[in-house]
Chains A and B, each alone.
Chain A
C-alpha cells in the first residue's frame, strides 16, 4: 500500500520535532557534559565558573526539553504502532534515558537552592549523568532503528524480540559516539557564544579540539549510514553534513563561534535527515523479514486523526517557535563571570528555626 500524503507529512513532522529536540537539547547536553571540565573546581573562582556555565542554558533548557515530550506525544498520535513498538522494544535504553533526564532536571533546578559544597557536588554529578547518558543513548537508539532490529508481527502488534545486548553492535556504538561528540562540540560552542572573557576563550579552544574528533567520528557514521542504508538523494545530505563539520573546524579555530554554532546545528540537522531519509518508508525495519517491519503505512493513525493533528501542528508550531526564539532574544546578552552574584546561591543547611528555638 502506498503512503498517503498525510502519512508522509507526519513522517516529516516527526523528523522535524526530533531535529528541534537534538539541535536545542544537543547544546544543553554538551553544556552539562562540559561542566566539570570548563568549570574547573580547583581554581579559586571554580564555583562561579560552574554557575556561569549552567546559567548559559538557565532560562531555556526546560523549554528545549519539551521538544522531546512533544515528539513523544506526536509519535503516539500519528504513528501509534511506532510509539508502542519503539518504547516497549527499547525498554532498557529508554529507561536509562528517563532516569538521566529526571536526575538532570532536579540537579539543575535544586543545585543553587542549598549553599553547601557537598550538595553542589552531588548536583554536579546529577547534571553530568543526566547529560552523558542521553547524549550517547539517543545515538545508539536511532542507529538501531535505521539498522533494523528483530521485530515480529503478531497481529495486530509488532513485537520487539531482541534483548538488550542486541542493541549494542558496532554501528550503533558509532552512532552513540557520534551524538556524543557532536553534542559536546555543540555545547562548547554554545558556551563560547553565550559568555565573554576567559570562559569564552576556554570554551572556543575546547570546541576547536572537539571539532576534529567530530569530523572523524561523525564523518564515519554518516558515510557508513549512507553506504549501508542510504538512498541516492541522501548523498547530498552526507555532503552537506561533511561540509558543515569542516566549517566547524575552521570557525572554531578562527574563534568565530556564531558561524561554528550554525555549523554544528546544520551537522545535527543533516544527521537526522539522513537517518529519517534512509528509513523511509519504514519507521522500524525488521531484521526478521521485510514483511515484519513497521512502515509509515502500517503504524499510522487514521486519516482523520492525522488531519486534526496537521491543523494543530500547523497552527501552533510557528507560534511556539516564535516565542521560544523571543526568549532566546530576551536573554541574548553574553554573560561574564562578573555577572554571577558574589554570594553563594541558596540557603545554608542550618535551619533558622533550630537556632531560634534553641533545639
Chain B
C-alpha cells in the first residue's frame, strides 16, 4: 500500500474507533442530567441511584472517548498536511471553536460533577451535569460543521494570492445546509445508542431480579455477591423493579422510539439533500449505474467488484429511489456512469478555459483517468447496514414497552429471561449502525477530501475549491505511517477490550444498595472522606 492508502486506513480506524465511544457519551450525558433532575425535583431516591449507576458507566466511557479524541485533533497535521494547509482558513475555525466552547466546558464540569457531590449544593451540582451535556452536544456541532465543509463547501471564495480557499463567512460555514441536517441526525443517533444501552441494562436487571425473586420464593436461589441482590428478599428485588428499573426503562424506551422517529425524518431529509449536492454518493449508495426515470430502490444486489460491470440487482422496489430523491415517483435519477462522464467533461472544459486553480491543474489525475465514483461495494452495503442495524433498537423498544405494560400479569415488572438475552444481543446494533452511517458518509465522498460544490457553484467554485484525497496527504514515508497505524490499532484494541470488561463488570455489579444515604452534605467537616476518589 502507498502512503495515501495507509493514511486512509489509519484515519478510518482511529475515527471509527473514536465514534464507537462518542455516541454513548453524547447520548448518556443528557440522560443522566435528566435522571438527576428528576431526583432533584421529586426527591425520589431511585433516580439518584440510577444517576450514580449510569454516571459510573459514563465516566468509564468518557475516559476512552477523550483518549481516542486527542489523536484526531493532530492527525490532520500529521498525515494530511497538504490538506490541512489547503483548508486551514475555514476548517481550523470550527476546530478551535470546539476546543474553546465545548471541550473546556465538558472536561471542567465533568470534574466538578464527579468530585463535587459533597462540595457543591444540590442545584449547582445539577447545573454541572447539564453543562457537561451541553458541552458534549456542542462539540458534535462544531466538528460536524467542519466535516460538512468537506462534503459541501460554503462560505468561502478562491484566493488567487493564497492559492487556496479563503473563508468569507463563518455564519455560512456554521449554517451549512449539510451541517444543519447532519447534526440532528448524529445527535439522534447518539441518543438512540445511549437510550438503547440504558433500556437494555434496565431490562436485564428486571429479568435478573424477577428470576431471583421467583427462586427465593421457591427456596432455590443460589448465593450471590452482587450488592444490589445481597440479602435482598423477593419483595425488595421486585421493589427495585417497580421503583428503579421500570421507570428508568420506560424513560429510555420512549427516548429510543422518539430518537428513531427523528432519525427517520432527518435521514430522509439528508438523502434528498445528498441527491442534489452529492449525486455521485447517492448513486453509489444504490449502485445505480445507469440513469433512470422512476428509478427503483435496490434491496439486494450481488457484486464482487466495486465497479458497474459486476453488479447484478436481485430485488428492486420499482420507483422507490426516485421517491427517496425528491418524493415523486417518476423523477430522473442520475447513475454513476452518467455522472462520471459529466465530471470528466466538465473538468476537461474547465482546464481548457483555464478555470482550474494552478494547484488543481497540476494535481495528479485531472481530467483523464480519474475515477470520480467511490467504492460501490462499500457505499451500497454500509448504507443498508446502517438501516438494518438500527432495527435492533426498534426491537428492544417495542418488545420492552410491550413487556412493561401495567396490564401484563405482574404489573409489567416481570421480564422473561429470553427477552433479556435477546435485548443483550441487540446491544451492539446501535453502535454498528453509527459506524456504518459514518463509513457510508465518508467513503461516499471519495475520491474527494474536499468535494466540489456541484449543486451551487455560486457558493464555492467547484473547479477550484476541491481536493482529491491523494493530493491532501503528507510527505511521509510509508514506513512511518505503517508504524503509527499498527501501534494505534494494537493499543486501541487492547484498550477496547479493557473498556468492555470494565463496563460489563460495572453493569453486572448493579447500583448501590437503596439504603445509600442522601450524599449531599455541607463541606465544613474537616475530616470527611472524599465522596469520589480515583
How would you classify the secondary structure of chain A's contact residues: helix, strand, loop or mixed?
A: helix
Interface of chain B: mostly helix, strand, loop or mixed: helix
Residues of A within 8 A of B533 (CB): 51, 55, 58, 112, 340-341, 345
List residues of chain A with CB within 8 A of the CB of B84. Answer: 76, 80, 83-84
Known A-B contacts A87-B81, A95-B484, A356-B224; A59 and B114 likewise in contact (beta carbons under 8 Å): yes
Contact residues, A330-359 vs B (CB, 8 A)? 330-331, 333, 335, 338-342, 345, 347, 349-353, 355-358
Residues in A whose Cβ lies below 8 Å from that of B509 = 347, 352
Q: Within residues 53 to 75 of chain B, which ones have a CB less than 8 A from any CB in chain A?
A: 59-60, 62-64, 66-71, 73-74
Contact pick for B95, options A55, A76, A88, A114, CB 8 Å: A76
For the complex, is B365 an interface residue (Cβ under 8 Å from A)?
Answer: no
Inter-subunit contact A112/B534 (CB<8 Å): yes
Contacts of A333 in B (CB 8 A): 523
Say which residue of A68, A101, A111, A349 sits within 8 Å of B534 (CB atoms).
Answer: A111
- Option from B212, B476, B491 in Cβ contact (under 8 Å) with A91: B476
State whether A156 touches B164 (Cβ < 8 A): yes
List the A side residues contacting B505 at CB < 8 Å: 114, 347, 349, 351
Residue of B nearest to A50 (CB): B534
Let me know if B265 is at the binding interface, CB within 8 A. no
A-contacting residues, B132-186, CB 8 Å: 159, 162-164, 166-168, 170
Interface size on A, residues (CB 8 A): 85
Chain B contacts with A in 464-506, Cβ cutoff 8 A? 474-476, 480, 483-484, 487, 491, 495, 498, 502, 505-506
**Known contacts A91-B78, A114-B505, A339-B528, A302 near B166 by CB under 8 Å:** yes
Known contacts: A76-B77, A84-B84, A308-B170. The answer to whether A70 contacts B530 by CB under 8 A is no
- B111 close to A327 (CB less than 8 A): yes
Of B99-107, B328-336, B390-398, B425-433, the one with at least 4 CB within 8 A of chain A: B99-107
Known contacts A109-B59, A156-B163, A352-B509; is A102 also within 8 Å of B67 by CB?
yes
- Interface-facing stretch out of A135-143, A274-282, A309-317: A309-317
Known A-B contacts A77-B95, A106-B64; A302 and B167 likewise in contact (beta carbons under 8 Å): yes
Find out whether the CB atom of B491 lies under 8 angstroms from the CB atom of A159.
Answer: no
Q: Quick check: A76 and B91 within 8 Å, CB to CB?
A: yes
Judged by a CB distance under 8 angstroms, whether B302 is at the interface is no
Which residue of B is nearest A311, CB measured? Answer: B170
The answer to whether the Cβ of B439 comes within 8 Å of any Cβ in the partner chain is no
Chain B neighbourhood of A78, CB < 8 A: 92, 96
Contact with A along B23-59 (1 / 0, CB 8 A): 0000000000000000000000000000000000001
Contacts of A72 in B (CB 8 A): 73-74, 77, 95, 99
Q: Which residues of B contact A105 (CB under 8 A)?
A: 63-64, 66-67, 70
Residues of A within 8 A of B96 (CB): 70, 73-74, 76-78, 309, 312-313
Least distance between B147 CB and chain A CB atoms (Å): 14
Q: Measured between alpha carbons, how far is A190 from B78 in the docked complex, in Å?
A: 34
Pick out which of these stretches binds chain A: B115-123, B248-256, B337-345, B448-456.
B115-123
Contact with B along A118-135 (1 / 0, CB 8 A): 000000000000000000
Whether B167 contacts A305 by the Cβ 8 Å rule is yes
Bound-state CA distance A294–B116 (Å) is 46
- Of all chain B residues, the one with the shortest Cβ separation from A122 is B498
Contacts of B506 in A (CB 8 A): 113, 347
Q: Is B16 an interface residue (CB 8 A)?
A: no
Q: Is B436 an interface residue (CB 8 A)?
A: no
Q: Are B226 and A102 in contact (CB under 8 A)?
A: no
Interface size (B, Cβ < 8 Å)?
88
Chain A min CB distance to B49 (Å): 17
Chain A residues 209 to 252 lying within 8 A of chain B, measured CB to CB, are none
On whether the beta carbons of B226 and A353 are closer than 8 Å, the reply is yes
Within 8 A of B (CB), among A130-165: 156-157, 159
Known pairs A83-B88, A157-B81; A356 contacts B226 (CB<8 A): yes
| Chain A residues within 8 Å of B87, by CB | 80
Interface residues of B in 514-533 (CB under 8 A from A): 523, 527-530, 533
- Given contact pairs A105-B66, A305-B90, A327-B112, A338 touches B77 in the complex (Cβ within 8 A): no
- The complex places the Cα of A323 from the Cα of B523 at a distance, in Å, of 20
Residues 45-87 of A, flagged 1 when their CB comes within 8 A of B and 0 if not, give: 0000001001100111111011011101111111111011111
Instruction: Decide: A316 and B101 in contact? CB cutoff 8 A.
Output: yes
State A103–B68 Cα separation when bound (angstroms).
10
Chain B contacts of A331 at CB under 8 A? 115, 119
A110 touches B63 (CB 8 A): yes
B261 at the interface (CB under 8 A from A): no
CA distance A350 to B89 in the complex (A): 53
Q: Please tell me which one of the listed residues B92, B212, B498, B529 contacts residue A106 in the complex, with CB atoms under 8 A apart.
A: B498
> Does A92 count as interface, using CB distance less than 8 angstroms?
yes
Chain B residue at smallest Cβ distance from A77:
B92
Closest B residue, CB atoms, query A352: B226
Which of B87, B111, B484 neighbours the largest number of chain A CB atoms within 10 Å of its CB? B111
Known: A77-B96, A335-B530. A66 touches B104 (CB 8 A): yes
Query: Knowing A73-B99, A91-B476, A324-B108 touch, does A350 contact B73 (C-beta < 8 A)?
Result: no
Please name the 5 residue pairs, one residue from A and one from B, whose CB atoms are nearest each other, closest first.
A80-B88, A87-B77, A77-B92, A70-B99, A109-B63
Query: What would 10 A/B residue contacts be, using CB atoms closer than 8 Å?
Result: A81-B88, A85-B81, A86-B77, A98-B74, A99-B487, A106-B67, A113-B60, A156-B162, A157-B85, A345-B533
13 further contact pairs, Cβ within 8 A, besides A63-B108, A313-B96? A60-B108, A72-B74, A76-B92, A77-B88, A88-B79, A108-B534, A109-B59, A156-B164, A317-B100, A323-B108, A327-B112, A330-B116, A342-B529
